[in-house]
Structure formats: C-alpha cells, structure tokens
C-alpha cells in the first residue's frame, strides 16, 4: 500500500508541471498590459512602464517566463512576489486555514446530513419521508448558491443577528457556520440522493439476504452490510468534493467576505496578476490530486474486494 | 478483525488530516485597542488590500492611499472644502511670477521614529519619486517642477530634479517650468509626503520593510499589528502629531473587503462603521435603509467619453465638429443618470466638477450637453453633406466596472434612435485591456474616460487632459488657443483666473475632444451611531474627525 501511495505521489509531479504550464499560458493569452491596470487612469512614463515590465519578465519569451515562475515556486523563494510586490507564499499561507476550515465544516455538514437522511429515505423507499426529501433536494439543487447565500445572510446575519453577517478578520469557527452551510447545501442534496439510491439497491442484494438468513439483527445488517457497501460511491463524491469546496468557494467567500483561497484567486485573475493566479490555481490542483488519492485509499477500507499492492 | 483495524487506521488518518488543518487555523484573535488605554473608540472603515508598497511615491490607488493620507502629513493639509492650511510648512512663498516657491518648515516636527522632518526629508523623497530607475508609479506628479519631462521623469534619467534646492535644514526652493499661482494646492497630495532617512538602504533605495511598515509624521501611526496582508491595516493616533488633523477617535482600522456588497452588509449588521461608497445593488434602497445612515451629494469625479481626432469623420474640421455636437445632443443624460444610476450621478454641464471653487453651470456653449434630437439630426445631416457617414459608431468600455455596460448600452441606443445610425457598445473585459489599447493608441473607436482630481482646482480637470502633449491627453487633442488660456489661468488669481478658465471651457464645448457625461455623486453609508462624517473634496470622509 505504501508503494502505491508513493507511486501516486510521484505521478503528482507531472500533473503539477502540466497544470502550471497550461494555466500559465492561458493567463498570458489574456490581452492587456497588467502594468497599465496597476497604474489606473493616471498617465505613466514609458520608462517606468518598461522598467516594471522588465521586473516581472513580461518582455521575455513566454516559455522562459514559465521557467522563472517554476524556479521561484520549486525553491520556495520567499521573495517570489505577485504584481503588487507582496509575497505569494505568505498570501496563500494566510488564506488556506480559513478556506480549509470552511471546506471541512461544509464537508462535515454534507456527510452527516446527507448520509443520515439518504439512508433513512433508502430504507423506506417510496415512503412519505423519501418523497419529501426528493422534493426538498430538487428545490435545493435548483436554487443558485448566491440566492441562498444572500437570503440566509440577510435573515440570519442582518435581520435576526444570530450569526455574523460577514466573517471578521480574526474569525473563529462559529463565524464560518453560516457560510459553510450555504456552501454545503447543494452537495447535501446530491449526497442524499446518492446514498438513498445506493442503500435502496443494496437492500435487495444477495449478501444482505444471506446476512438476514443467518439471523443477524436488523441493525447489524444495515450497519455492516448495507451501509458500508452503499458508501463507496458516496465517499467518492464527498471526497472529490473537498477539492472543489476548497477551490469553488469563490461565490460564497465573496458574499460573506471570507479572505480565503477563492477570493485570492478571483482578485488575482481580475488584476491580471499571473504569478499569484497560477500559484493559487496550482494549490487547488494539488489539493484535488491529494483528495482523490485519499478517496482511492478509502475504497479499500470500505470494499473488502479492493486492495492496493 | 482485519477490516476493523483498517477502518480504525483510516479513521485516525482522517482525523489527523482534519486536525492538522484545524490546528493551522488557530491563531488570530485578541488585538483589541492598543491606543494607550484611551477610552475613545476605534473606528472601522472599509478598505482594500494595497496593491503597492506603502511608499508615498509608489501608492496610486485608494487601498494604499487612504491609510497613507492618515499616516503622513505633507507641507499643507486639505480642509474639508478643498482649501489648504499649512501643516508641516511654516510658509510657502512665491516669487513675483509664481515660478519659484520658497518653503520654510515648522520647528519640532518629527517622524514617529523620532527623527526630525527636514527639508531633505521632502527633497530626497521627491527626487526618488521622479527618478524613473526607481519605478515609482506616482512620478507623474512631479511634472510641473523644472528638471522633469512631460510625464514627471527626471530629465535624462538624472538622480535629482534640478528644480529642487535645499537651502538649509528647514527650507528649500521649488522652481517650476511655468508660473502657477495655486501650486501649493498640489502639495497636500500623497506623492509629496516626506520620507525619513531610515527608509533608505545603503544603496539609496527605499526598502521593502519600509513599504510594509511605513514610518510617517501624520495624525496616525501603524499599530503593532499594522498591515496584515489581505486582512486589515490598523492605525493608532500619533501622540506627537499637533497639526490640523489631530485624531478625535481612538484609532482607525481599515478592514479589507472583497466586494462592496459584503461591506454594505457589514455596515447593516453593525460590524463596519464606514463604507465610503454604495454598491449598485443597494443604490435604490440605501437612502431609505433604516439600518444605516446614508449620504449622497455631488462629487468630484468626472465621466466622459473621448473621441480621438484620428478617427475617420471626427477629424479637426467642420465635419468633425458637427458630428461631435450631434452625438452629444443625441444623449439624454438625465434619463441615464436617473434610470441607470438612480440619481447617484448628476448630468454634467461642464468639464470640471461642481465641488470646486469657481465652478459655474453657465459655461458658454454648454447647451451642446442638453438632449436636443432635432438639432442633433440637423447637425448630423449637415455633416453628411460634407462627407457621407458610413460604418458603425462604437463606444468602448471596460466591463469590470459597475454600471459601465448598462450606461454604454443605453447611450448607444439613444444615439442610434436619434441619429438613425448603427451604434453599439464595445466591451473590453477588463480595465487594463482598455487602457492598453488607449495608451498604445491602437484603439479605433471612441472610448469611456474619467477623471479624479489630484488636487482641488478646476485647472487640474483641464490641463492634464486636454493641453497639447499632456500626460492624460488620450485623444491627442491639441488647440493652441486653449493651451494659452490654461497657461494664463495658471498664472492668474481670483476672478481673472475663473474668467480665463471659462473661456478655455468654451473652446472645449465647441471642439468637444471628449463628450462630458456626468459627475459621480459621493455616496456612503455609516453605522447609525457614527458621528462627524462629512465628505471632503476627494469624496472621502475626514477620517480624523470620525467618532462614536
């Protein structure tokens, strides 16, 4: 199993190189001179503009620019700065904890609510509970996240003042509960549907009937034989989701002013700050790679037929 | 058995991974007030992460500019109405034709590191800013001083500006290229702030550390936590400051927001005291919102769109003049400011701003800014007799600014309907893309332009934009008579000056190098218990006067 993990980690290297290369070229394809964005409406002398372009290697061949970038990243150069002259690693380091916590909270809500509700619905297929959850999850899936976000922010944050409407700089976990819930909502619906279908299918599987025939109690059958096997697709979905939760929180982070990775990426893209954009997106890519490795390892735990050598 | 062991292992791994991430998130918290145990409350204000080092000559956007204005004080300080009071300067005296200014400094002024503010603190910083080798974005502000070129670089890349001479520790002279009777009005701008000796390294460069933790001489200084990247900048009152802007509150914290919308919500919910703008989504409701105090008044920034003379049919001749006037009269400004901007803009009646001294809505020829479809059609038809119109009238705008798309579309429609020509907006996704084609002169259409003044004078809205060869003359407009009037106005004072400015504006009304659209209103919301909020000429509150 360790050999398998090592192999997967080695594979991450070409993924990293390829991802940075593609993102780097894509951001460079964007027209416009970022130096002029930096300067705004005021005039700039050609001398200063050229000097700044030189400083950020903007006049070099694009492949060479990528190599400069790689060198800074691989050597963890503390002087590696974005267009604003602020250290990239420090910015990402500041943003990761809050985004990580937000993602884990959302994931926890997603897993707990989704699996519990989905299992109950699956065990009583086509009962009233199943029908009600179906309708609710369809509604949740079809409302855009920014609608839910603004409405809940207004109700809980502004009107009733139960939660902080925006996340303060010195945040703690309770400040993140509301944004995490907003982030989790659409996923909860999907997780519920997935669990429900999977549980329902397993209820009629041969090994479950055998277990019953052996005389095992209902609870043990469901815990050990139905649920465990039903969770394989659910775990895949949830695990991969952590990757996209870390990366895809741009809208939620914007609504609640969470100073996290999503916002960092958004700001960097809109300013044409290539070093920061590529670095942030690379972090997202690596998180995704890492999460899919963990998911693959979890398969072996859940499904006795799968083993890694 | 084997299964359960594995389950446990995986569980441990997951928890470990989770708690690692959580542990990394610890930290933060308790940096309450540290303003020397004072009971005055700290005011939290909207901010954005500065995009440049916090060096006076390097900071050109509000994210860094607002904190800098509070951390430093210049030779003069701006009063709320835009007039100036001497701050660090004891006196600023001109010679007879206002080309040489002698500055004398007050005694006993200190930076917060204890070093004295001397003539050298100013001259060295300005020399540094004007030297293109130092890549300072504000170098353009030094263009009026002798020894710099049109865009503020030292001539020939020299290390010093020849127009700046230190006489002794407490006095220096500034020699200008041409006479300018209101030169001191410029000196309160952040590019002219002094910088202490400790900012420079042995090679004479301002250090990175200084850019992160600037040491100033202003009403405030950085708190212990100072500038936390992407989070906030917190300032505490500077006990040694005794100028006109002495802090009345217990400190300022610039909290960074990613969107104005979330900042607005923060004011509503009581976690932010001051937001110096209003997001488009709240424009219709903010004045009746019971959770906030609302402010809305005409402001100092001016919007227009520029039609370069190099475009076909818009040259410097009779046809061009007719077509420009026709386009201008085809636009129904009040309709747009009302329907699209909910009256957060005021239709323009000149090329400057109503908050300035000497402003009047009676500018000769400004009826060309009134909606007049018949006259517009007639002028367009007359131009067609000179040379037949063909093609499309396109209006370039940047799509990343709120409301730009809406007003460009509305305006193109009005032009289309009134003149019966093919008109449409042309979007550039980002501001810097539009500026690139404008700066490189590769743009082939009219484009949106705007101006935010550097100092409170009508001349600052005219000279830098429409004078021949000026730095922001994006349309390459050139008119000898206009140049002459502007120069004379700079040298004149009082009513003479305003008369000359009026004549200069009359020329612009005829030539219309840019079509004036509207003045942007200053809008803001604050917490209900905040006191002392007044807009100054920069559309910012006087931060030092805010209290709770």
What is the structure's pLDDT at B50? 87
Q: Distance between CA atoms of A169 and A150, rounded to whole angstroms?
A: 20
- Distance from C-alpha of A58 to C-alpha of A53, rounded to nearest angstrom: 5
Which residues, 6 or more positions from B14, have their beta carbon under 8 angstroms from its beta carbon? Answer: A294
pLDDT for A309 = 63
Is the per-residue pLDDT at B158 higher than 50?
Answer: yes
Contact partners, residue A174, CB within 8 Å, separation at least 6? A163, A164
Q: How many CA atoms lie within 13 A of A254 on its CB side?
A: 16
Any chain B CB within 8 A of the CB of A86?
Answer: yes
Q: Which member of A32, A52, A300 has the closest CB to residue B436?
A: A32
| Dist CA B57 CA B375 (whole Å) | 48
Residue B180 phi/psi, 5-degree rounding, is: -145, 105
Residue B136 with chain A: CB contacts under 8 Å: 48
User: For residue B13, what are the CA distances in angstroms to A112, A241, A294, B266, B395?
Assistant: 19, 18, 10, 39, 59
- Partners of residue B164 on adjacent β-strands: B174
- What pLDDT, on a 0 to 100 scale, did the predictor assign at position B295? 92
Nearest CA in chain B to A273: B51
Q: Which residues 362-421 of B have a C-beta within 8 angstroms of A?
A: 400
Which residues in A68-82 are b (16+ Cβ under 10 Å) and which e?
ebbebbeeeeeebbb
CA A158 to chain centre: 27
SS3 per residue for B322-366? HHHHHHHHHCCHHHHHHHCCCCCEEECCCCCCCCCCCCCCCCCCH
Long-range contacts of A277-281 (CB under 8 A, 24+ apart): A277/A23, A277/A27, A278/A20, A278/A23, A278/A24, A278/A27, A278/A69, A279/A73, A279/A88, A279/A89, A279/A92, A280/A92, A281/A19, A281/A23
* B5 interface with A at CB cutoff 8 Å: no
Q: Are B153 and A47 in contact (CB under 8 A)?
A: yes
B56-69 in b/e burial notation, b at 16+ Cβ within 10 A? bbbbbbbbbbbbbb
B512 or B403: whose pLDDT is higher?
B512
Question: For strand B43-47 and strand B100-105, is the pairing parallel, antiparallel, or unpaired?
Answer: unpaired
Parallel, antiparallel or unpaired: strands B393-398 and B423-428: parallel
Mean pLDDT of B354-382: 91
Render pLDDT for B290-341 as a digit per residue (tens, 0 to 9).
889 999 988 888 999 999 999 989 988 999 999 999 999 999 999 999 988 8
User: Residue A248 is part of a domain; what is its CATH number?
Assistant: 1.10.3720.10
E strands within B157-251? Answer: 164-168, 171-175, 220-228, 232-237
Residue A166: its chain B contacts at CB < 8 A? 257, 262-263, 265-266, 269, 271-272
Summary mean pLDDT of chain B: 87
* Alpha carbon separation from B315 to B205, B322, B478 (Å, rounded): 47, 10, 12
Q: What does chain A come to in residues?
A: 309
Is A42 in Cβ contact with B140 (below 8 Å)?
A: yes
Indicate if the pLDDT at residue B38 is higher than 60: no
Question: pLDDT in tens for each of the 309 residues of chain A?
Answer: 788 888 888 888 898 899 889 988 888 887 778 888 777 767 777 888 888 888 888 888 888 888 888 888 888 888 788 877 788 888 888 888 898 899 999 999 999 999 999 999 998 888 899 999 999 999 988 888 889 899 999 898 888 888 888 888 778 888 899 999 998 988 899 899 999 999 988 888 888 888 888 888 888 888 888 888 888 888 888 887 877 777 658 888 888 988 888 888 888 887 778 888 888 888 888 888 888 888 888 887 777 777 776
**Contacts of A215 by beta carbon, 8 Å cutoff, 6+ apart:** none
- The answer to whether residue A80 sits within a structural domain is no
The total number of structural domains in chain A stands at: 1
Query: Bridge partners of B232?
Result: B228, B255
Mark which residues 7-36 of A lie under 8 Å from B by CB: 30-36
Give how far the C-alpha of residue B183 lies from the chain's centroid of Cα atoms, to the nearest Å: 19
Inform me whether the pLDDT recorded for B9 exceeds 80: no
Write out chain B residues lying below 8 Å of A175, CB-based: none
Q: Is residue A47 part of a domain?
A: no
CB contact under 8 A, B269 and A263: no
Residues 187-246 of B with CB under 8 A from A: 208, 211, 228-232
* The token pair that represents B360 in the structure block: 């009047």
Band of residue B10 on the pLDDT scale cut at 50, 70, 90 = very low
Does B51 sit within 8 Å of A38, measured CB to CB? yes
Residue B439 has pLDDT above 90, yes or no: no
Q: Percentage of chain B with pLDDT > 90?
A: 57
**Distance between B39 CA and the closest CA of chain A, angstroms:** 22
Please tell me if residue B3 touches chain A, with a CB cutoff of 8 Å. Answer: yes
Q: Is the pLDDT of residue B34 over 70?
A: no
Judge whether A292 is closer than 8 Å to chain B, CB to CB.
no
pLDDT of residue A208: 87
Give the chain B residue nearest A51 (alpha carbons): B135
Q: Is residue A82 part of a domain?
A: no
Nearest to A203 by CA among A189, A192, A218, A190: A218
> If DSSP codes are grouped into helix, strand and coil, which group holds residue B272?
coil
Domains and CATH numbers, chain B: 31-256 (3.40.190.10), 297-522 (3.10.105.10)
> Is B36's pLDDT higher than 50?
no
Q: Which of A26, A100, A168 lies closest to B22, judged by CA?
A: A100
Residue A290 falls within a domain, yes or no?
Answer: yes
Supply the range of the domain harboring residue A120: 95-302
Q: Which of B45, B40, B196 is nearest to B116 (CA)?
A: B196
Residue of B157, B230, B271 to mutate, interface with A, max A Cβ within 10 Å: B230
Cβ pair B68, B213 in contact under 8 A: no
Contact at CB, B53 and A85, closer than 8 angstroms: yes
Nearest one of B411, B448, B452 to B431, comparing CA atoms: B448
Closest listed residue to residue B530, CA positions, set B514, B545, B511? B545
- Tell me which residue of B342, B326, B325 sits closest to B334, measured CA to CA: B342
* Interface residue of B15, B51, B267 to substitute, partner A, most A CBs within 10 Å: B51
Quick check: is A84 in a domain?
no
Question: What confidence category does residue B53 fall into, taking pLDDT thresholds of 50, 70 and 90?
Answer: confident
Instruction: Using the Cα atoms of residue B187, residue B188, residue B192 and residue B195 in order, give the sign of their dihedral.
Output: positive
A-facing residues of B in 16-45 (CB < 8 A) are 17-18, 21-22, 24-25, 27-31
* Residue B93 phi, psi dihedral angles, 5° rounding: -115, 135
- Residue B19's pLDDT is 39
Q: Which residue has the tokens 């005409």?
A: B298
Which residue is associated with the tokens 């005389």?
A: A215
Higher pLDDT: B172 or A36? It is B172
The whole-angstrom distance between B436's CA and the closest CA on chain A is 5
Q: pLDDT tens digits, residue range B213-233? A: 999 999 999 999 999 888 899
The H or E element that residue B263 is part of is helix B260-268
- Other CB atoms within a 10 A radius of the CB of residue B360 amount to 15
pLDDT score recorded for residue B20: 39
């Amino acid at each position: 199993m360790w050999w398998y993990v090592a192999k997967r980690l080695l594979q991450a290297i070409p993924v990293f190189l390829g991802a940075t290369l593609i993102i780097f070229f894509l951001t460079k394809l964007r027209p416009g001179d970022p130096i002029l964005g930096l300067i705004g409406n005021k005039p700039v002398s050609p001398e200063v503009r050229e000097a700044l372009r030189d400083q950020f290697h903007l006049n070099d061949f694009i492949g060479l620019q990528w190599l400069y970038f790689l060198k800074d990243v691989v050597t963890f150069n503390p002087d590696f700065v974005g267009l604003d002259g602020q250290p990239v690693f420090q910015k990402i380091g500041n943003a990761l904890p809050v985004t990580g916590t937000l993602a884990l909270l959302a994931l926890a809500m997603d897993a707990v609510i989704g699996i519990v509700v989905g299992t109950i619905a699956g065990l009583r297929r086509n009962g009233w509970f199943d029908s009600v959850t179906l309708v609710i999850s369809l509604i949740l899936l079809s409302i855009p996240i920014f609608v839910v976000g603004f409405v809940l922010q207004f109700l809980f944050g502004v009107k009733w003042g139960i939660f902080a409407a925006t996340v303060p700089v010195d945040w703690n976990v309770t400040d993140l509960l509301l944004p995490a819930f907003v982030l989790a909502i659409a996923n909860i619906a999907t997780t519920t549907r997935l669990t429900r279908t999977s549980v329902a299918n397993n209820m009629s599987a041969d090994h479950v009937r055998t277990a019953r025939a052996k005389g095992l109690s209902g609870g043990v059958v469901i815990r050990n034989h139905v649920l465990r096997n039903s969770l394989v697709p659910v775990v895949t979905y949830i695990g991969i989701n952590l990757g996209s939760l870390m990366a895809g929180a741009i809208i939620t982070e914007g609504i609640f002013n969470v100073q996290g990775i999503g916002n960092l990426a958004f700001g960097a893209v809109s300013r044409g700050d290539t070093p920061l954009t590529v670095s942030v997106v690379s972090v997202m890519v690596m998180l995704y790679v890492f999460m899919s490795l963990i998911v693959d390892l979890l398969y072996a735990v859940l499904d006795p037929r799968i083993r890694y050598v | 058995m084997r299964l359960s062991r594995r389950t446990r292992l995986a569980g441990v791994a997951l928890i470990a991974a989770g708690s690692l991430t959580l542990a990394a998130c610890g930290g933060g918290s308790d940096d309450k007030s540290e303003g020397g145990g004072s009971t005055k409350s700290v005011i939290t204000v909207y901010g954005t992460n500065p995009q440049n080092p916090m060096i006076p000559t390097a900071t050109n956007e509000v994210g860094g500019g607002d904190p800098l204005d509070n951390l430093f004080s210049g030779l003069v300080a701006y009063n709320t109405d835009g007039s100036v009071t001497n701050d660090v300067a004891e006196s600023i005296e001109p010679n007879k034709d206002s080309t040489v200014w002698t500055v004398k400094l007050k005694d006993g002024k200190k930076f917060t590191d204890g070093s004295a503010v001397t003539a050298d603190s100013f001259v060295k910083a300005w020399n540094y800013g004007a030297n293109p080798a130092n890549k300072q974005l504000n170098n353009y502000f030094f263009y009026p001083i002798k020894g710099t070129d049109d865009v503020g670089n030292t001539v020939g890349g020299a290390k010093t500006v020849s127009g700046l001479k230190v006489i002794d520790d407490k006095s220096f002279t500034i020699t200008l290229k041409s006479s300018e009777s209101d030169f001191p009005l410029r000196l309160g701008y952040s590019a002219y702030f002094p910088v202490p000796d400790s900012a420079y390294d042995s090679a004479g460069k301002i250090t990175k550390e200084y850019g992160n933790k600037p040491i100033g001489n202003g009403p405030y200084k950085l708190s212990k936590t100072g500038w936390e990247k992407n989070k906030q900048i917190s300032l505490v009152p500077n006990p040694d400051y005794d100028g006109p802007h002495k802090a009345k509150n217990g400190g300022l914290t610039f909290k960074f927001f990613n969107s104005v919308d979330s900042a607005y919500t923060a004011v509503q919910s009581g976690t932010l005291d001051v937001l110096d703008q209003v997001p488009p989504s709240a424009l219709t409701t903010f004045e009746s919102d019971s959770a906030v105090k609302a402010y809305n008044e005409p402001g100092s920034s001016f919007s227009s769109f520029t039609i370069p003379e190099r475009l076909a049919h818009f040259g410097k001749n009779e046809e061009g003049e007719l077509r420009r006037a026709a386009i201008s009269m085809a636009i129904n400004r009040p309709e747009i400011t009302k329907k699209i901007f909910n009256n957060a803009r005021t239709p323009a009646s000149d090329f400057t701003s109503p908050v300035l001294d000497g402003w009047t809505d009676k500018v000769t020829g400004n009826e060309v800014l009134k909606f007049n479809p018949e006259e517009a059609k007639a002028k367009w038809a007359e131009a067609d007799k000179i040379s037949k119109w063909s093609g499309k009238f396109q209006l370039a705008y940047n799509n990343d600014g709120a409301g730009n798309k809406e007003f460009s579309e509305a305006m193109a429609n009005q032009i289309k309907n009134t003149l019966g020509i093919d008109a449409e907006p042309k979007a550039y996704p980002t501001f810097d893309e539009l500026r690139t084609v404008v700066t490189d002169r590769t743009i082939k259409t009219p484009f949106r332009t705007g101006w935010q003044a550097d100092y409170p004078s009508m001349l600052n809205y005219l000279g830098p934009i429409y004078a021949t060869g000026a730095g922001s003359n994006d349309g390459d407009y050139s008119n000898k008579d206009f140049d002459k009037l502007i120069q004379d106005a700079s040298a004149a004072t009082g009513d003479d000056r305003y008369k000359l400015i009026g004549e200069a504006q009359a020329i612009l009304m005829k030539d219309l190098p840019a079509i004036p659209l509207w003045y942007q209103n200053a809008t803001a919301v604050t917490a209900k218990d905040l006191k002392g909020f007044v807009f100054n000429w920069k559309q910012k509150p006087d931060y030092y006067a805010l209290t709770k």
